[in-house]
Amino acid sequence: MSTVLRYLFFIFIVKPLVLIGLGLNVYNRQRLPSKGPAIIVANHNSHLDTLVLITLFPLKLLKNIRPVGAADYFLRNRFLSWFALKIIGIIPIYREVCPGTKRNPLTHISAALERGDILIFYPEGTRGQPEKLQSFKTGIAHIAKRHPQVPIIPVFIHGLGKVLPKGEALLVPFICDVVVGEHIRWEGSKEAFMNKLSSTMKELAFKISFPAWE
């Protein structure tokens, strides 16, 4: 039932909203993976980021696409957690490891990668100031180290922070840019990997010229 709803939601609401209501300029679309396992790493400015990234993939991959979202935010009430888990299909991640529990916060992520899913991951940890790139948290490095064979595809998104920034409910249409980077892999050390990831992200941001947003 919720699978059907998920498809209906993406076909009749998300796709028209993203492709007609907003409009996308996608650079280097061919670099997107055509099958899992893979990790999409993107900057995060808006709830719409996830919907846009999912729209980039063909519908037949929808069942394999799993955005990684904060459990404390998305599972805070019953409706939201149903929507996040069943319709968007998130993998909840616990941002703060509770003392006393031995559980590894990345268990679900590893399991999904082993199933061949495509994960969407926001290393900034939360939606930042609109259109400002924040420093990345190192959780992604742990995942990369555990799964060195999984390609990590950096994607830079611009414009959605204008469309629907954090703390706003009013959606204002703008055409948005999505720049797909070449995939990177685990480089042997956490620092090297994180440096590579942030420098790739900054290069992608340079690819597009966007109007001022003061």
Cβ nearer to another protein, comparing 23 with 116 = 23
User: Which residues are bridge partners to 157 per DSSP?
Assistant: 178
Nearer to another protein (CB atom), residue 7 or residue 27:
27
Of 23, 116, 148, 188, the one binding another protein by CB under 8 A: 23
Q: Which residue, 82 or 210, has its beta carbon nearer to another protein?
A: 210
47-81 as b/e: b if 16+ CB within 10 A? ebbbbbbbbbbeeebbebbbbbbbbeebbeeeeee
Binding-site size for another protein (CB under 8 A) equals 20
16 binds another protein (CB under 8 A): no
Site string for another protein, 119-158 (x = CB under 8 A): -----------x----------------------------
In whole angstroms, the minimum distance from the beta carbon of 155 to another protein comes to 15
Question: Residue 25, interface with another protein (CB under 8 A)?
Answer: yes
CB atoms within 10 A of CB 142: 15
Minimum CB separation of residue 59 from another protein in Å reads: 23
Least spacing, CB of residue 204 vs another protein, in Å: 14
Smaller CB separation from another protein, 88 or 164: 164
| 68: CB partners within 8 A, 6+ apart | 90, 91, 93, 109, 119, 120, 121, 122
Q: Which residues contact 74 (CB under 8 A, 6 or more apart)?
A: 80, 81, 84, 85, 90, 92
* Residue 134 or 138 having the CB closest to another protein: 134
Closest of 100, 117, 99 to residue 108, by C-alpha:
117
Give residues with Cβ within 8 angstroms of 94, minimum separation 6. 70, 71, 72, 105
Residue type at 4 in one-letter notation: V
Q: Report the site for another protein in 155-174 (rule: CB under 8 A).
A: 159, 162, 165, 168, 170, 172-174
Comparing CB distances to another protein, the nearer of 48 and 88 is: 48
Phi, psi of 200 (to 5 degrees): -60, -45
What residues make contact with another protein under the rule CB under 8 A?
22-23, 25-27, 130, 159, 162, 165, 168, 170, 172-175, 209, 211-214
